[in-house]
Amino acid sequence: MKPLDGRTVLLTGATGTLGRSIADAYARAGARLLLSARHDAPLQGLAGELSARYSTEVAVHPCDLSDAADIRRLPDEARRLFDRLDVLVNAAAVLGPVGPLWEVDWAEWTRAIDINLCAPARLCQLCVRSMPRSAGRGKIINVAGGGATSPRPRFSAYAAAKAALVRFSETLAHEVADRSVDVNCIAPGVLRSRMSQAVLDAGPERAGPEEHGKAERVLKEAADGRLRAAELCAFLASDASDGITGKLISAIWDPWESFGEHRADLGATDVYTIRRILPEDRALSWRGL
Ligand SMILES: NC(=O)c1ccc[n+]([C@@H]2O[C@H](COP(=O)([O-])OP(=O)(O)OC[C@H]3O[C@@H](n4cnc5c(N)ncnc54)[C@H](OP(=O)(O)O)[C@@H]3O)[C@@H](O)[C@H]2O)c1
C-alpha cells in the first residue's frame, strides 16, 4: 500500500521546476493526478512520463490562471475524471514585475496578484466543495515563500500576493475545520527555476544586487531543495499529516518529518504562523517602569 493510493490530486504549475517534482512524488506515492499549466505539450509529455514510470492515472488540463472562466473549468474537469477530489496543490505562480513600485507596469502588477493570490483562492473555493467529508481528509497545499514572511523590495506584487496567500490559507483552515479539510502553505526555498532566471535577467539594477546575486548563485548550484519540497507536499497530502492545518512550513528549515509527534502542540499554538512582533520579542521594554 502506497501513502497516496487511491487519492486524487489537482496540481497547478505542474510543468514548473517544483511542479514536476511534486507530480513525480505524488505519482510515486500512488496518487491519481490532474496536472495543469498553460501549455499543453509539456503537460502531455510529463503525464506520459509519469504514467509510464509509475502505472498510475495522470490526466492533463491546460488552464490560464489569469482567466476566470478557465479557472472555473479546472475543478469541473477534476470532477469529471474523479468521483471526488482529495488534494489541491496550488504551485503555479509568476514573478510579476521587478523594480520599485513607482517604476513597474500596473497591469503587470495586478496580473501577478490575480495569478498568485486570486487564482489559488478561487480554486480553493471551488475545490473545497468537492472534497470528501468521509473516507479521508481533504488537503489543500498552497505554495508560498519568497517574500511572505519578510519584505522583498522590488518584488512588491509577488511578496504581497504570497503574504496574503499565507493569511488566506490560515483563515481558510479555520473556516473548514469542521469539514475535515487541512489547509497549509509551504515555503520551498530558492529553486533553480525559470523564476530565478527571470530575476537574473532583470539585472542587478532592477532586481537589486542582493536578489540578483542570490539568483546567480542558485542557478550555478548543482542541486536545490525541490525534492525536499516535493516530499513535504507528499507528507501534507497523506494521512500522516491529518489535523496539521493553518501552518506555513519551510521545506528546508522545519523538522516536518517529526510533526506527527507534535500534533497536539501544533494544534494548540501559533507556531509556524505569521504574527505581529512586539517590542518584548526583541528584548525591548516600552511599557514604562
Ligand atoms: N523559484 C523559486 O526560487 C521559488 C522560491 C519560493 C517559492 N517559489 C514558489 O514555488 C512555486 C513554483 O515555482 P517554480 O520556480 O517551480 O516556477 P516555474 O518553474 O516558473 O513554473 C511555474 C509554473 O506555473 C505555470 N504558470 C505560469 N503562469 C501561469 C498562468 N498564467 N496560468 C497557469 N499556469 C501558469 C507554468 O506553466 P506555463 O508557463 O505552461 O503556464 C509552470 O508550470 C511558485 O508558487 C513559486 O512562487 C519559488
- Calculate the average pLDDT of the chain: 95
How would you label 20-40 residue by residue, b for 16+ Cβ within 10 Å and e otherwise? Answer: bbbbbbbbbbbbbbbbbbbee
Is 265 in contact with 245 (CB distance < 8 Å)? no
How many Cβ atoms are within 10 Å of 112's Cβ, its own excluded?
Answer: 24
- Same domain flag for 111 and 149: yes
The reply to whether ligand 1 has any atom less than 6 angstroms from the CB of 46 is no
How would you label 192-215 residue by residue, b for 16+ Cβ within 10 Å and e otherwise? Answer: bbebbeebbebeeebbbeebbebb
Summarize pLDDT for 159-174 with one digit per residue, the tens. 999 999 999 999 999 9
Distance CA(153)–CA(132), nearest Å, equals 41
- Same domain flag for 163 and 148: yes
Residue nearest to atom 7 of ligand 1 (CA): 145
pLDDT at 223: 81
- Same domain flag for 204 and 254: no
- The answer to whether residue 119 is domain-embedded is yes
Distance CA(109)–CA(92), nearest Å, equals 16
Pocket mutation for ligand 1, best pick of 169, 191, 192, 253 (most atoms within 8 Å of C-beta): 191
- Distance from Cα 92 to the centre of ligand 1, integer Å: 4
Confidence of residue 16 (pLDDT cuts 50, 70, 90): very high
Cβ burial, residue 140 (10 Å; 0-12/13-18/19+): buried
Percent of the chain with pLDDT over 70: 99
pLDDT at 133: 63
- The answer to whether residue 197 is domain-embedded is yes
- Distance from Cα 12 to the centre of ligand 1, integer Å: 9
Give the cell for residue 112.
501577478
- The answer to whether residue 256 is domain-embedded is yes
**Would strands 138-143 and 8-12 be described as parallel, antiparallel, or unpaired?**
unpaired
- Same domain flag for 68 and 134: yes
Summarize pLDDT for 20-62 with one digit per residue, the tens. 999 999 999 999 999 999 999 999 999 999 999 999 999 999 9
- Same domain flag for 250 and 214: no
Atom of ligand 1 minimally distant from the CA of 190: 3
- Distance from Cα 130 to the centre of ligand 1, integer Å: 25
pLDDT at 130: 84
Summarize pLDDT for 96-147 with one digit per residue, the tens. 999 999 999 999 999 999 999 999 999 999 999 888 766 789 999 999 987 8
187: enclosing H helix or E strand: strand 181-187
Number of domains the chain is built from: 2
- The answer to whether residue 3 is domain-embedded is no
Summarize pLDDT for 177-211 with one digit per residue, the tens. 999 999 999 999 999 999 999 999 999 999 999 99
* Residue 149, CA distances (Å) to 132, 146, 152, 164 in order: 32, 8, 9, 10
DSSP 136: S
- Same domain flag for 207 and 138: no
- Same domain flag for 218 and 232: no
- Distance from Cα 45 to the centre of ligand 1, integer Å: 17
Higher-confidence residue: 289 or 5?
5
pLDDT at 37: 98
- Same domain flag for 206 and 217: yes
Assessment of whether the complete model's pTM goes beyond 0.85 = yes
CATH code, domain with 163: 3.40.50.720
- The answer to whether residue 1 is domain-embedded is no
Mean pLDDT of 82-100: 96
- Same domain flag for 81 and 137: yes
- Same domain flag for 131 and 195: no
The reply to whether ligand 1 has any atom less than 6 angstroms from the CB of 39 is yes
- Same domain flag for 103 and 60: yes
The reply to whether ligand 1 has any atom less than 6 angstroms from the CB of 146 is yes
pLDDT at 289: 59
Confidence of residue 2 (pLDDT cuts 50, 70, 90): very high
Max CA separation in the chain (angstroms): 70
203: containing domain: 191-224
From 176, 205, 224, give the residue that closes a domain. Answer: 224
- The answer to whether residue 2 is domain-embedded is no
- The answer to whether residue 240 is domain-embedded is yes
Mean pLDDT of 78-90: 94
Summarize pLDDT for 221-273 with one digit per residue, the tens. 878 889 999 999 999 999 999 999 999 999 999 999 999 999 999 999 999 99
Residue with cell 502531455: 44
- Same domain flag for 13 and 70: yes
From 224, 246, 273, give the residue that closes a domain. Answer: 224
